[in-house]
């Protein structure tokens, strides 16, 4: 997705970043080989939880591993199942619609591109929730 690499680079300078996916571990690991080592603090695949998206389990596990409350997490999602998963876990969501329309909801902001995600945007969004 355009701007994804740079957005993660910006965010990881000020807070830990994990990758949470509904993909199987074998696919995630293959994709992660294209990124610098330790680009993400850790990753969670469908194989790492009993129930994957749209259930909250993947994001609950991510928050647990980071040692933070889900209410302090901001999740970037491009799918309706991922948004549902993050919201039901209690996370705030920055939705970056790819193939589906996403409507605004409490604790959900929609951006057209990850290139729009700046640290200032995240600070304002997080302080507003």
Q: Nearest CA to 39 among 18, 25, 14, 15?
A: 18
Token pair of 95, please? 């939705």
Contact of 29 with 44, CB cutoff 8 Å: no
- Across the chain, what does the average pLDDT equal? 88
* Each residue's pLDDT tens digit, 75-118: 999 888 999 999 999 999 988 876 666 665 667 887 888 888 88
Structural domains in the chain (count):
1
Residue 112, domain CATH? 3.40.50.1000
- Stretch 59-85: mean pLDDT: 93
In angstroms, what CA-CA distances link 120 with 2, 10, 29, 39, 116? 19, 11, 31, 22, 10
Q: Which domain holds residue 111?
A: 4-128
pLDDT-based confidence at 44, cuts 50/70/90?
Answer: very high
Full-model pTM: 0.86
Strands 92-95 and 74-77, by their bridges, are parallel
């Amino acid at each position: 997705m355009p701007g994804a690499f740079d957005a993660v680079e910006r965010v990881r300078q000020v807070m830990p970043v994990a990758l949470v996916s509904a993909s199987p571990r074998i696919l995630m690991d293959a994709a992660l080989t294209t990124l610098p080592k330790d680009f993400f603090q850790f990753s969670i695949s469908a194989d790492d939880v009993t129930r994957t998206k749209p259930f909250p389990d993947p994001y609950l596990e991510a928050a647990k591993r980071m040692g933070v409350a889900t209410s302090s997490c901001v999740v970037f999602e491009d799918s309706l199942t991922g948004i549902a998963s993050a919201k039901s876990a209690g996370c705030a969501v920055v939705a970056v619609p790819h193939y589906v329309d996403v409507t605004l909801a409490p604790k959900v902001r929609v951006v057209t591109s990850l290139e729009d995600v700046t640290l200032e945007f995240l600070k304002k969004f997080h302080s507003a929730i």
